[in-house]
Amino acid sequence: MLKDSNFIITNKTNGKLISLPFSAMKDHILGKDYSLSLVIVGKKAIQNLNSKYRNINTPTDILSFSVDKNIGEIFICQEIAKKKAPTFDRSYKNFLSYLFIHGCVHLLGFDHGTKMEKIEEMHRNHFQI
């Protein structure tokens, strides 16, 4: 577990988490006062969450949950992310960065669409991703 004052990463898998500037990305997108938990989970765990909260009984790559105005959680399944990266013509590291930024922008209250894509692109450009 990696812990910052307002950011915690918990890896609940046996896999190693790739090194990315998650804390800096979180601060840039959500602000330093936002408390965020990033949890790396396996396929079964993310499928259970997806089924419970979205009524979709399949594993997915990322889920974001807003707990309060300044508190949120992001769950990422590295196994699914690794499989999906080539379909988006991205390296795994690049796709993982993309997913994390995507999840943070959801926590800001944005839904899929052109406006969200522009905001994500601005943040990816800031981190040269």
Confidence of residue 2 (pLDDT cuts 50, 70, 90): low
> 2-126: what fold?
Collagenase (Catalytic Domain) (3.40.390)
Task: Express each pLDDT in 76-126 by its tens digit.
Answer: 999 999 999 999 999 999 999 999 999 999 999 888 889 989 988 989 888
Task: Express each pLDDT in 35-87 by its tens digit.
Answer: 999 999 999 999 999 999 999 999 999 999 999 999 999 999 999 999 999 99
Instruction: Calculate the CA dihedral of residues 75, 81, 84, 86 and round it to 10 degrees.
Output: 150
pTM of the model: 0.91
